[in-house]
Amino acid sequence: MDQSPTDAIGTRRKFVEAWNETIIDIWQEKIMKLGVFNTGSLWQSTVELPLKADGRFYDITLSQTFLEYGLWQDLGTGRNTAIGNTHRRDNDGWSNKRKRRRWFSIKYYSSAMKLRDFMAESLAHEFKSMFCAALDDDNARYNTEYYRRKGYTR
């Protein structure tokens, strides 16, 4: 059963807001699980910014923020790390000091694709129901310019 346009907008709003909150929860959980938690500043820096959307939730802007340091942890790079190499020189010679701790990129991409799929399906159902309603109304069909030119008005 198709939803009314008002219900569909409410459903999209709830889904997008829940998605935004869930992303932050996932990031914080991964940060703790992978041990990217020295001072706690990266964990505390993950914040969802206010959702920006038009009233119909056709155009949505989602924003999250975290410290840049988190990207370096995700990529396994940082200070004293050679470009293209995760090895670092110290007094004992070359040793592997930095390892990738993928707290950000993999989950974020798959979650963004789920959000994309939900929005596509939701908008498709609303679009389909709009045309079905127009086709069910015989007067609307016969009162179009095409039928008027052909002389088929009712």
The tens digit of pLDDT for each residue in 50-103 reads: 878 777 777 778 778 888 878 888 877 776 665 555 455 555 555 556 677 888
Which two three-digit tokens encode residue 127? 């679009």
| Higher pLDDT pick, 86 / 4 | 4
Residue 31 pLDDT grade (very low, low, confident, very high; cuts 50, 70, 90): confident
Residue 141 pLDDT > 70, yes or no? Answer: no
Interatomic CA distance for residues 13 and 106, integer angstroms: 25
Predicted confidence at residue 85, as pLDDT, reads 52
Residue 11 pLDDT > 70, yes or no? Answer: yes
Q: Token match 């974020």: residue? A: 108
Interatomic CA distance for residues 71 and 92, integer angstroms: 28
Phi, psi angles (nearest 5°) of residue 89: -85, 125
